[in-house]
Structure 1
Amino acid sequence: MFASIGFLCFGLIDMLGGKLFRQFVADPRPATFVSALLGAAIGYGIGWSVIRKHGLPHSATPYDVDAAADSAKQDPH
């Protein structure tokens, strides 16, 4: 989920602003795609760290993450 959000956000930012990879690549389409891939990698890394923080399996859903975060708030040790 985080990877898809990163893919969309970074792709749109580079498509609209053109500041990230367009300064290195002349054609805007590959630059936007590379930027979107970078966003997906960053989003995947964030999602992986959130799941590992709560000790959940890789198949955890956002609801599982919310439930684990809520139980961690209620049980401080």
Structure 2
Amino acid sequence: MESICGLNPDMHRYLVEADPTKWSLAYFNGRRYAIMTTNIAKSFNNVDRKARLMPVGFLVEWLRALLQRWPISNGM
């Protein structure tokens, strides 16, 4: 925040006045995403380790079921 204040005081003021739970993970009480990363490739790599050994047909079905279980973001 000190860096932002030095670079752009108006932005610093805006962020201080805004609800920190909307823009800062440090003040957000929940989990923004079902898997704690914003990188979808890392998310898939983390959950599909065992599925990689499946035949293609089973793998596609496993991935479809996985995506249906993931919550949809309210931001869309």
Could you state the TM-score of these two structures normalised by the residue count of structure 1? Answer: 0.27
Highest relative contact order (Cα 8 Å, sep 6+), 1 or 2? Answer: 1
Structure (1 or 2) with the greater helix fraction? 1
Rg: which structure is higher? 2
